[in-house]
């Protein structure tokens, strides 16, 4: 794959092959686009996270006072911008200055599928106590040209608004055997009583 330079990101945005909303040309860098932090966050409430179930979480909004993260915290946030492309592969990275403060903006999951459009869910992990502010430039997205036939994404996170909790529990199918596996719930987590609050 080949990475797009900043001038190519500008060009492909004008050609509607890259979608970023809102778009600010001043946020285009040498080979990326700066993403800012949104107002909504998700914190899991379980003492033990079980990928086979719809884990309980709370959703909350943060104002100008910012969000204080303690050392070792893990919280889901989101980009203020919606992004996507049917032609390029977006990859999410922390801004260098943010990484130097000991903050991860993603925990291994940095790739956005071709055809996926919506807010980016940031997987925020703090190695040091830190305060984050909505609207701050926190991440960068790069765009990569793929090789081969493009099949557009049509998965469960399509059209995300605000942060999205994991739905990996849907990958577990109920076993007809007596092995004790927990099956998928078939519930929309956004309508679950476990999910407190609503997405923007």
Q: Is the pLDDT of residue 196 over 90?
A: no
Integer Cα distance of 78 and 161 in angstroms: 8
129 is a domain residue: yes
200 is a domain residue: no
pLDDT digits (tens, 9 = 90+) for 151-194: 999 999 999 999 999 999 988 854 433 345 444 333 333 444 33
Cα Dmax for the chain: 59
Residue numbers of the domain that contains 78: 2-194
Q: What CATH number does the domain containing 128 carry? A: 2.70.40.10
199 is a domain residue: no
Integer Cα distance of 87 and 96 in angstroms: 27
For residues 71-94, b (16+ Cβ closer than 10 Å) or e, as one string?
eebebbbbbbbbbbbebbbbbbbb
Domain total in the chain: 1
pLDDT digits (tens, 9 = 90+) for 39-85: 999 999 999 999 999 999 999 999 999 999 999 999 999 999 999 99
143 is a domain residue: yes
pLDDT of res. 173: 54
CB neighbour list of residue 168: distance below 8 Å, 6 or more residues apart: 51
Integer Cα distance of 107 and 137 in angstroms: 18
Element (H, E) at 200: none
What length is written for the chain? 200
Name the β-bridge partners of 52.
none
- Closest to 60 measured CA to CA, from 78, 36, 80, 35: 78
């Amino acid at each position: 794959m080949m990475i797009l330079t900043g001038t190519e990101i500008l060009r492909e945005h004008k050609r509607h092959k890259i979608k970023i909303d809102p778009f600010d040309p001043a946020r285009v860098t040498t080979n990326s686009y700066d993403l800012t932090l949104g107002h909504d966050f998700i914190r899991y409430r379980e003492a033990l996270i079980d990928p086979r179930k719809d884990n309980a979480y709370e959703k909350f909004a943060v104002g100008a006072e910012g969000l204080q993260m303690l050392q070792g915290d893990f919280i889901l946030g989101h980009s203020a911008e919606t992004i996507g492309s049917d032609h390029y592969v977006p990859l999410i990275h922390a801004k260098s200055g943010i990484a130097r403060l000991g903050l991860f903006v993603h925990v291994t999951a940095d790739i956005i599928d071709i055809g996926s459009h919506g807010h980016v869910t940031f997987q925020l992990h703090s190695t040091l106590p830190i305060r984050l502010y909505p609207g701050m430039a926190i991440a960068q997205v790069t765009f990569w040209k793929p090789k081969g036939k493009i099949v557009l994404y049509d998965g469960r996170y399509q059209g995300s608004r605000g942060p999205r909790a994991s739905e990996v529990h849907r990958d577990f199918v109920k076993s007809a055997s007596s092995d004790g596996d927990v099956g998928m719930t078939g519930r929309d987590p956004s309508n679950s009583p476990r999910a407190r609050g609503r997405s923007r």
